[in-house]
Structure formats: structure tokens, C-alpha cells
Amino acid sequence: MTDRYSRQTRFRPIGQAGQDELTKKHVLLIGMGALGTASAEQLVRAGIGKLTIVDRDYVEWSNLQRQHLYTEDDAAQHVPKAIAAERRLNAINQEVEIIAHVTDVTRYELPQLIPGVDLILDATDHFDIRMLINDVAAQHKIPWIYGGCVGSYGMTYTVLPDETPCLHCLLEHLPRGQATCETAGVIGPAIQLVAAYQVAEALKLLVGATDALRQELLAFDVWTNEQSRINVASLKKASCPSCGENRTYPYLTHMPVQFTTLCGRDAVQVRGDEARDLERLEQNLSPVVSIVAKNPYLLSFKTETHRFVAFRDGRVLIHGEQELVRAKQLYHAFFG
């Protein structure tokens, strides 16, 4: 196995010295969907020292089209994505330490994941989580790489605390409230390209080649063959509440949303404490509902109109519902 990274070390900007640096680095990757699985595999094959992966969801059949670390068996058994990815990544490279967390990312969880991390990679599909990452990264001075994808369109940007504009600085210039994966779908090539750009920037940071970093926001459409590179250096704001002179880190102090509709899913996520005891929950519900699946991480049951998935961290997904008011009624009906 001595030649495992030989083709990578022959690339002069990395070399053996860079490879040695990679083995010492710890990357936190948030979101193990399409972007996350693509980036995680590349980082693990490249031989980083430690990878922490975080995801709140479980594998479904619709994931298999683009989330290539997962199998049909994972979908059939409703395996949490972080656990399924951990198994696959360990099978790819046992030299890399993989730490998996099946949890949502809020202002409570994220700071606990930060100690010892050299880089944060964004593979989420919610701007609220990205803004939370942005605040935590600015507070702890950890570089992070934003990535987004919908349809055939992708975008990525590297944030260096105290050097570049942060995501909050750019927020009014980013496309929000436009198409989502639910309305426009997404294709694999766009995802792979975003991941490739993200991991390339990650490798530069991890081996210390900061002079090679892209200083621009990159956007592209693989279907229409369009690409744009935007110099955003002038957008850094001294008044920015996340990275400016009088920082308040607003997303670290903002109360998390408890009821959230999920992108690309006919579902609502509820965050609470009532569903943590899955064993007691199964005893209470089994006489009145049909238990669909259960494992150490989740319990799934269905009614005539909806399917529920309760996670041990207290989250509940209500499938077949998009109205928040109705979702609240259903949640309180089954969980108190």
C-alpha cells in the first residue's frame, strides 16, 4: 500500500510534503446528500487524516440517482445517511478516521463539532444552516467552502475568515427564493462539478497552497454551457454582523426553526424532545399505527395519509405534508 497516493504525490503542487500534511488534517463535512457523498469520497481517497460527517436524514430510493455512496439495501432498511456513508468510506480507505453523526445541525450542535477542525465543507441544502456555518467559521477563524446545486446549475465560493467577504456579506447578491431541487430537480454532472471545485479548493487549503485558491465566486450551468467568475472582494463589509468590526454572529443567537419544509421532499421536519425515547414511542404507538421500520437510529410508522420517521435526537419527519399548520397538528397528535 506504499504507492496508494503515488499519483497524487507526483503532482508537484502537492508532493510528498503536501501528502504528509493531508494526513494531519481534520475536515468537517455537513450534509451527506449528493454533494456530501461526492466530496467525502474524494477526500477519503485523497488520504486526509480525519473526516467528520454529519447528516440528519436516512437513505431513500430517490437518493440513489445521485448519491453514489448508498445502495438499494441502505434504502430498503432506511439506514441513516451518515452511518451508511461511514461504512462505505471505511471500506474505501481504512487509513482515514471517519466520525459519523446522525443529527440535525443547529446553533447547539455545530459548536460542539468544531474543536480540532481545519476546514468546513458545506453540502447542505438550506441557507439557514449555511449562515450558521458562516457565523461559526468566522467566530473560530476556520475556512469553509460553500457549495450549492439545483437543476444543471452550480455555485461555489471559498470563505477565508478575516480575509475574504463572508457569506453574509454576499447574501443580497446570491440567488435565493428561486428554483429548488423540488421544483427543478437536479442532475448528477452538475453535482459532481460543484464537488470537484469544492474538493480542489479543500486540497489547496489543506496542503497550505493558499496562493492557488480561487478568489472569486464561481457559477456555472452544465446544460447551457455557461460559466461566470465573479470577483467579490469589494463586497466585504465592515458593518457585516458576521465578520465585520462589531460582530454579533446573529445566526448563533437566533432561535432555531422547529418546523421546516424540506427541499425536494413532500415532508416537514419537526425538531423537539418528545420523540427521543424510541423504545417507549414504539410501545405507545404500535397498537394504533403500522410500524414500517426500526433500527438503532430511527423509528418509522405510517397512518392512512402520512408516514412519520422519528430520530433518536428528537427530530421527526412527517412525509406527505407540506403545510406547517397541519404538520404541527399531526406532531402534537402523536407525540404530545
Q: Which residues are known to be catalytic?
A: 181
Instruction: Select from 45, 41, 19, 47 the least CA-distant residue to 29.
Output: 41
Q: Left if phi > 0, otherwise alpha if psi is -120 to 50, otherwise beta: which for 6?
A: alpha
Residue positions counted in the chain: 336
Picking from 168, 121, 155, the residue whose alpha carbon sits closest to that of residue 229 is: 155
Residue 336: other Cβ atoms inside 10 A: 9
Query: What is the CB neighbour count within 10 angstroms for residue 305?
Result: 8
Of 11, 52, 37, residue with least CA distance to 203:
11
Pair 113, 121: CB distance under 8 Å? no
Q: Retrieve residue 280's grid coordinates.
A: 417507549
Return all residues near 87 (Cβ < 8 A) that are at least 6 apart: none
**AA identity, residue 98:** I
CA pair distance 122, 206, nearest whole angstrom = 16
Separation of alpha carbons 224 and 151, rounded Å: 11
Residue 213 three-state SS: coil
* Distance of alpha carbon 40 from alpha carbon 27, whole angstroms: 9
Q: Which amino acid is at 233?
A: A
Can you point out the beta strands (E) in 60-207?
A: 97-102, 119-122, 144-150, 153-159
- Cα angle: 173, vertex 205, 10; to 5 degrees: 130
